[in-house]
Amino acid sequence: MSGREDPKPSPIECYLIVDDAEAAIAFYRRAFGATEIARRAAPDGRRLLHCALALFGGRIMLADEFPELISDTVAPKRVGGTSVTMNVNLATPAAVDATLAQAEAAGAAITTPATDAPWGTRYARLIDPFGHAWALQAPLPED
């Protein structure tokens, strides 16, 4: 459940655009135990061009919005939400409940409370304070 390791890049990773990278980094630390791997500040001294975070045995990258550099890369709040969900596979149903509670305490909005889903997982969904959707799941024990 912690992001303390520095994983190697996987063949595919997500890159989140946020409206406040410093606040997002602080949230992902509190909510998911993320640790910072790398960062690059923008020349304006206010925004981040890039940050890589280790969490859940993998990594994500994020940046502030830079409409002057890439016009179609905006934070979910600017477009009214997201159609993408980060899916986190956890080891146990208890880890889903604990991670969900930790994320909610850090400021996430729970959109699907933890439940035993008919497809055989403990499952929950949340929206982080920056508009990104996350699903938490773990296999249920077999009867």
The pLDDT tens digits for 3-21 are: 444 566 677 889 999 999 9
Tell me the mean pLDDT in the region 101-129.
98
pLDDT for the residue numbered 60: 95
Distances, alpha carbon 25 to alpha carbons 19, 32, 62, 64, 69, in Å:
11, 10, 9, 11, 22
Q: Which domain holds residue 114?
A: 83-143
Q: How many CB atoms lie within 10 A of CB 138?
A: 21
Statement to judge: residues 43 and 103 lie in one domain: no
User: 18 with 62: CB under 8 angstroms?
Assistant: yes
Statement to judge: residues 99 and 53 lie in one domain: no
Q: How many domains does the chain have?
A: 2
Kindly report the pTM of this predicted structure.
0.89
Give dist(CA 28, CA 25) in Å, integer.
5
In a 3-state reduction of DSSP, which class is residue 105? helix
